[in-house]
C-alpha cells in the first residue's frame, strides 16, 4: 500500500493505493493517529484502495473515534468493491462516507 498526502482547503487528504489489510493497516494507523490527535481534519480518499479487510476497517473505526469533537474524519470516493464492504459490514452507518473528495471537504468545513 502506498499513502499519498495532500492538503486542500485546510483539510488533510490521505489517499491509500492498494490493499488496506492486516499487513498494511498499522502504517495507516500510524499516519492517521497523530493527525487527529493534533486536531487536524482528515479525508481518506478510497478511490484507489483495492480492498479493505477487517483490520483496515478496525483502524478506520479507531481513528474515527479518536477524532471526536476536536477534528473530523471522513471517508471519500470508495470504489464499488470498497463501498460494498462498507455497506455490508455496517461501517457506512458508523463513519461518515461521501461520494467524492470535494463533498467530503465541504462536509468537514461545514461542521
Q: pLDDT (tens digit, 9 = 90+) per residue, 41-100? A: 999 999 999 999 999 999 999 999 999 878 899 999 999 999 999 999 999 999 999 999
**Residue 57, pLDDT score:** 96
C-alpha separations of 29 from 63, 88, 89, 111 in Å: 7, 23, 20, 24
Domains and CATH numbers, the chain: 2-110 (3.30.750.24)
Please tell me the total number of residues recorded for the chain in this structure: 111
Q: Which of 4-8, 27-31, 67-71, 80-84 has the lowest mean pLDDT?
A: 67-71
Query: pTM for the full model?
Result: 0.94
**Residue 111, pLDDT score:** 83
Whether residue 53 contacts residue 19, with contact meaning beta carbons closer than 8 Å, is answered with yes
Amino acid at each position: 500500500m502506498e499513502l499519498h498526502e495532500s492538503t486542500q482547503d485546510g483539510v488533510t487528504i490521505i489517499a491509500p493505493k492498494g490493499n488496506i489489510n492486516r499487513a498494511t493497516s498499522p502504517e495507516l494507523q500510524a499516519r492517521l493517529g497523530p493527525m487527529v490527535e493534533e486536531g487536524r481534519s482528515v479525508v481518506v480518499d478510497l478511490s484507489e484502495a483495492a480492498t479493505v479487510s477487517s483490520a483496515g476497517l478496525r483502524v478506520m473505526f479507531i481513528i474515527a473515534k479518536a477524532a471526536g469533537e476536536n477534528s473530523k474524519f471522513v471517508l471519500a470516493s470508495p470504489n464499488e468493491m470498497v463501498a460494498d464492504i462498507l455497506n455490508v459490514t455496517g461501517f457506512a452507518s458508523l463513519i461518515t462516507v461521501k461520494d467524492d473528495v470535494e463533498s467530503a471537504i465541504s462536509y468537514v468545513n461545514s461542521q
